[in-house]
Structure 1
Amino acid sequence: MKHPAPPASEPRLRVGIVLARRFTLCALANFVDVLRLAADEGDRSRPILCRWRLLSQSGESIESSCGLSVQPEERLGDPRRFDYIAVIGGLIDENQPLHADVTRFLHQAAAAKVPLIGICTGAFILHRAGLMQGYRCCVNWFHHDDFRNEFEGLTPVSDRIFVVDRDRITCSGGASSAHLAAFLVDRHIGAAAARKSLAIMIFDEAMAADRPQPGLPLELTTGDPLVKRALLRIQQALDTPLPVARLAEQLGVSRRKLERHFAAALDLTPTEAARRLRLSQARHLLERGDVPITQIALQTGFCDASHLIRVFREAEGLPPDAWRKARQAS
């Protein structure tokens, strides 16, 4: 069944949004604000070129993960009145099963060839509803292992900010929700409208779907809770590296126990894992193209530019500037 094209007087981009219980507010706000800013001249917010509606089966308010509640605007109805249906997830531990009416609505949308979007943990929700079989799926690097544990045998994409696979689009959430919305605006309204929205929101540029997610490198993902906690603490203090003994103390374990867990989970010492994290962040900053090497060294915990250059060359075979030029040329 083909969904009807909107008349010329209607918006060029129509999005219905379903919120999970304890959804992530920033994912909703970033996504909707790009649509809002693209919909009208300046910052007037009239839904002229874009239209977005919050949907639910009951009309009751829905609480976000930060405690603020949002009031849906419409009942579910016919999904064909939208160009996309987006599902915005939130806290993994508190994502309750969708109401049967919502699941039925999403299946009706899929049957009518209305593309489905999973934002943040919305990809989990679409999978649980049986709507992602055979599709590539993007999740936040932080939930990579959660996804693999829940959906045995499936490996998500966790090194890209969003993935477009035919009539399914999945997004890692957070700031990348804005870039996904800009992608939709570009597709339906034009690149100028997408650039305008992002500029007003103080984004330097639109990020393509294959832009790497900032976060833990995939080779450092692990199911070991102690190692995961340690890696997150290391990441939070990249510019001032923690001695292993101090890290173990903060985690409430002995240094020897921490080192044993790292060896079993990653076949690395905590120091080696920290170096990989710092190099990963250095590569991320180099890809931005305009960050000086000295500044990158400071932000990633290297003593100085010379120290970063030496370690980077050992890891990549090229000094940072040459590596950056090679990436820009590719």
Structure 2
Amino acid sequence: MPDTALRVGFVLCAEFALMSLTGFIEALRHAADLGDRGRKIYCSWTTMSPQKKTVKSSCGIIINPDTDLIDADNFDCIVIIGPLLSGIDDVPQIVHGYLRRAHQRGKLVAGLCTGSFVLADAGLMKGRIACLHPYHLQDYKELHPKLRFTLKHDYLEERNIATVPGGLSVVSFATNLISRHCGRSRAAKSVFQMTMSETGLDSDFNAIVALDKQHIGDHRIRKATIIMEREMFSPGTVASVAERLGLSERQMERLFQKTLSMTPKAYWTAIRIKYGKWCLLNTQKTITEIALLTGFADCAHFIKQFRKVYGETPGHMRRLHAQKSDLALTRLESNSDRF
């Protein structure tokens, strides 16, 4: 059994946003185990409050925390989920001190939803930019007029302090954290189990998880790649993408060669094949279904391009992957009495 790669401690404020807690924990739960058994193998999570006091969420659901505010060395990341802003002044000073000590020990400290306000009150946002939800912008400006902020990101992490606006951004941040500590396959499994249905396989969220993002300097090519990734599920044309960017097809060809050392058509094919591989190893779709899903005219064309990239057919890769997964599961099950 692997050592737990990611340990997260949640500090709950009175009237905290329940979705921030459940969204984060569900991401951890799906990444933590094989299948859907919820065992804390790869990830673990602990809820905390001062003196282990019962905490009511903003929607009225009551949580009984696992423990008091225990030593931050038990965790890789400390998460503070803030209260309704009407109760921001009621956050105990012991919580502020706990967050400061955790940060001093080199732990990643993350503020979810109004947790960014708690971090600011604890003095941890000086010289940093808070990532806020627009709904909280005016309050943050009034309460912390000298601190900087942004509305342009799902989350922002600077020098071991992260701020996350809440909502679905919490899942995005949790997925990134899982990827860093447990690997991309754990993160992909988490998102797959949380968001992907048989009829919703082509959602933007799932596509983004399956693809490695690369740094692209030219903003026009960056926009082109985003369009291509969003439309990989339909047989679009390079000319139509170029037209949307105000470029000629020849201009876009030259920019792609200069920036990525490949043609637009080759890039589009590459991301379709890459996402096809992810579907192959993480879904029950047939190879024909995957070929059509990723914009190929037929299964034969998909198999030919797949073999060019990976040196084997999709069927062969899937069989080997299944054999390895079965072996790993057998070994894990044989030791299940240990956890």
Match of 2:182 among 189, 195, 207: 189
CA displacement at 1:172 relative to structure 2:
1.1
CA displacement at 1:58 relative to structure 2:
1.6
Match of 2:103 among 110, 129, 133: 110
Match of 2:144 among 151, 154, 161: 151
Q: Which runs of 4+ in 1 moved over 4 A?
A: 285-288, 323-326
CA displacement at 1:142 relative to structure 2:
1.7
Partner of 1:78: 71
CA displacement at 1:69 relative to structure 2:
1.0
Alignment of structure 1 residues 126-137 onto 2, 5 Å: 126-137=119-130
Partner of 1:162: 155
Partner of 1:321: 244
- Count of residues paired in the alignment: 225
State the SS of the aligned residue for 1:153.
coil
The separation in 1 between residues aligned to 2:113 and 2:93, in whole angstroms, is 21
Larger radius of gyration between Structure 1 and Structure 2: 2
Partner of 1:64: 57
Does the aligned pair in 2 maintain the 1:22–1:95 contact within 8 Å? Answer: no
The separation in 1 between residues aligned to 2:227 and 2:57, in whole angstroms, is 35
Partner of 1:296: none
State the SS of the aligned residue for 1:32.
helix
**Identical aligned residues as a percent:** 31
Q: 1:168 to 1:320 in 2, by over 3 A?
A: farther
The separation in 1 between residues aligned to 2:13 and 2:229, in whole angstroms, is 34
Partner of 1:95: 88
Q: Does 2:59 match 1:47?
A: no
State the SS of the aligned residue for 2:145.
coil
Partner of 1:289: 230
RMSD, aligned CA: 3.3
Partner of 2:16: 23
The separation in 1 between residues aligned to 2:19 and 2:171, in whole angstroms, is 10
Partner of 1:176: 169
**TM-score, scaled to structure 2:** 0.59
Does the aligned pair in 2 maintain the 1:34–1:178 contact within 8 Å? Answer: yes
**Any stretches of 5+ residues in structure 2 without a counterpart?**
197-204, 214-225, 234-240, 260-339
State the SS of the aligned residue for 1:193.
helix
The separation in 2 between residues aligned to 1:35 and 1:43, in whole angstroms, is 12
Q: 1:94 to 1:111 in 2, by over 3 A?
A: same
Alignment of structure 1 residues 7-18 onto 2, 5 Å: 10-18=3-11
Deviation per CA, 1:212-264, whole angstroms, max 9, x where unpaired?
A: xxxxxxxxxxxxxxxxxxxxxxxxxxxxxxxxxxxxxxxxxxxxxxxxxxxxx
Does the aligned pair in 2 maintain the 1:21–1:95 contact within 8 Å? Answer: no
State the SS of the aligned residue for 1:74.
coil
Partner of 1:265: none
Q: 1:320 to 1:57 in 2, by over 3 A?
A: farther
